[in-house]
Structure 1
Amino acid sequence: MTPVAPVAHAPTRLVRGLILGSIGLVFAIPIVAMVEFTLRSGLAGGHDFSRWTALFQGGFAGPYRAVLVALGNSVGLAVGTVVLVLLLLVPTLLLVHLRFPRLRRLMEFVCILPISIPAIVLVVGLAPVYSVLGRLLGSGVWTLAFAYGITVLPFAYRAIQANLDGVDVRTLSEAARTLGAGWVSVLLRVLIPNLRRGILAGAFISVAVVLGEFTIASLLNRNTLQTSLVVVSKADPYTVVILSLLALTFAFLLLLVIGRLGTVRTGSRRRPTTGGQP
């Protein structure tokens, strides 16, 4: 088998290391500064772990217990938003791509439009809708998933559409239909596996946006992670930085698990080769 020649303009390993190192440094500097801030001993100088140990020994009791409740609300909202957006967006994109290609420009305009609307304007428009929604279904924090679905729609659309442009879904669907597969089987067993990378990327961005969103939750008076951190910061700025670091760690681990699920699923489909052939 002829080896594949390297790309002529691909960066060298040193250049890739410098780029990744520079990006990592940009992210690491504020995080290190946050850690150093939480370890300060005050006017006496020096550093210690007294604030960290006091927080964990107290078991997040008192005013900090609300942060755990808010974290659970944000995680539930992230899951609900991802499910809502993917259930609506993926079949619609496939339908437009296969059946109504002339509507692609209109679809792109509708999906990208929310990114140009400020969050406060979006809340003003959604307030009457939420008043009716509250009377019919209640005003629980879960209702934010509808507003968050609109917020993350542009990012999820671009991630999935970029993957969709690189896959010949028309040929795949026609081949599956020729072999006798129904449309449900074509969608679940042929098209979605080929769009897994774009779907996971859309889930990544959706989770990150939901966990970091503050404006919509604050204006609609919902208890989420970011709004609870603002409340805690008014009483103890050191503790709120510790909680922010823990929230960043949790979000990073959550995104790592989502990415790992896609990697494990891809690796499980590989089969051992025989006869020295790939």
Structure 2
Amino acid sequence: MADFSTRDLLGGGRTLQAWQNLISDEALFSSIVTSLLLSVLTVAVMLVLLLPTMIWVRLRAPWAKGLVDFLCLLPLTIPALVIVVGLRNVYLWVTYFLGESALTLTFVYVIVVLPFAYRALDAALSAIDLRTLSEAARSLGAGWVTTIRTVIVPNVWTGVLSASFISIAVVLGEFTIASLTGYQTLQVQIVAIGKSDGPTSVAASLAVLVFGFVLLLGLSLISRKRAGRRTGAAELTAAVPLGGP
């Protein structure tokens, strides 16, 4: 992909024109900005809705865990075409109140990323003693918002990052829903440009892949760093005797 996107198909040799088009092409640049904004909004809405719900279910309604698990994994079994058709009437009201902006796809994308985000957050919450942490914070006078923000989230930060990065990758790579609803997101624009300008289309696709790789690499480095800190703290605690200074 790097070789093809830098190849001058007409004059021979190498050129960076395809990569310059990512910024100079107004339609492509606009679609890039739209997809990035969709990623940020999708992650924000997903975390605000999903993380407090999962915490509440674990602490107050453990009987509902199976139901939440089923609902969050359900989008995996429903084709994108069915989702679009099912939400068509709902989106008539969404566009009526919020306009026909592509950013309204946020609501659909939150549903699409639920299975991936749920698994990442569920694994992180299962790795900590959530009840003890929350009860300790509450006994010291912290409200629920403060408990979640300052006590629980720092302990599941790797899971939050994992859910966020996976959601960003899913949104940046989503084509079917955006195409069926007629919005010009990055993937839709890549397909449209590919019909007339192959190198630019490939350059944009490669940029998305590299961006996703950088996010996953960053997640891996952060996870290792936090694991190293926990291991060091555990070794230091074990090395200090109970009556020591």
Q: TM-score, normalised by structure 1?
A: 0.75
CA-CA distance at 1:35 after TM superposition: 2.2
CA-CA distance at 1:37 after TM superposition: 2.8
Contact 1:111 1:157 (C-alpha < 8 Å) held by counterparts: yes
Name structure 2 gaps, 5 residues minimum.
Answer: none
Query: Is 1:112 aligned with 2:73?
Result: yes
User: Which residue number corresponds to residue 172 of structure 2?
Assistant: 211
Contact 1:200 1:259 (C-alpha < 8 Å) held by counterparts: no
* Greater displacement, 141-150 / 229-238: 229-238
Contact 2:158 2:222 (C-alpha < 8 Å) held by counterparts: no
User: Which residue number corresponds to residue 209 of structure 2?
Assistant: 248
Question: How many percent identity over aligned positions?
Answer: 45
User: Which residue number corresponds to residue 193 of structure 2?
Assistant: 232
* Letter paired with 2:128: V
Name structure 1 gaps, 5 residues minimum.
Answer: 1-33
- Please give the alpha-carbon distance, in whole angstroms, between the structure 2 residues aligned to 1:194 and 1:83: 19
Shift in alpha-carbon separation, 1:79–1:261, aligned structure 2, 3 A:
farther
* Letter paired with 1:144: L
- Please give the alpha-carbon distance, in whole angstroms, between the structure 2 residues aligned to 1:71 and 1:162: 32
- Please give the alpha-carbon distance, in whole angstroms, between the structure 2 residues aligned to 1:153 and 1:165: 18
User: Which residue number corresponds to residue 100 of structure 1?
Assistant: 61
Query: Is 1:193 aligned with 2:140?
Result: no
Query: Hey, which of these two has a bigger chunk of helix by percent?
Result: 2
* Letter paired with 2:119: R
Q: Which has the higher contact order (CA 8 A, sep 6+)?
A: 2
> For residues 218-262 of structure 1, what are the alpha-carbon distances to aligned partners after superposition, in whole Å with 9 as ceiling and x for unaligned?
001111110010110011112211222223233444555677778
User: Which residue number corresponds to residue 90 of structure 2?
Assistant: 129
CA-CA distance at 1:186 after TM superposition: 1.7
Q: TM-score, normalised by structure 2?
A: 0.85
- Please give the alpha-carbon distance, in whole angstroms, between the structure 2 residues aligned to 1:166 and 1:56: 43
- Please give the alpha-carbon distance, in whole angstroms, between the structure 2 residues aligned to 1:260 and 1:240: 31
Contact 1:196 1:262 (C-alpha < 8 Å) held by counterparts: no
User: Which residue number corresponds to residue 38 of structure 1?
Assistant: 5
- Over aligned residues, Cα RMSD in angstroms? 3.0
- Please give the alpha-carbon distance, in whole angstroms, between the structure 1 residues aligned to 2:29 and 2:49: 30
* Letter paired with 2:150: R
User: Which residue number corresponds to residue 22 of structure 1?
Assistant: none
Shift in alpha-carbon separation, 1:150–1:174, aligned structure 2, 3 A:
same
CA-CA distance at 1:126 after TM superposition: 1.0
DSSP 3-state at the match of 1:48: coil
Contact 2:21 2:200 (C-alpha < 8 Å) held by counterparts: no
Contact 2:194 2:201 (C-alpha < 8 Å) held by counterparts: yes
DSSP 3-state at the match of 1:103: helix
Matched ranges for 1:165-176 at <5 A:
165-176=126-137
> For residues 74-97 of structure 1, what are the alpha-carbon distances to aligned partners after superposition, in whole Å with 9 as ceiling and x for unaligned?
000000000000000000000000
DSSP 3-state at the match of 1:217: helix
Contact 1:200 1:262 (C-alpha < 8 Å) held by counterparts: no
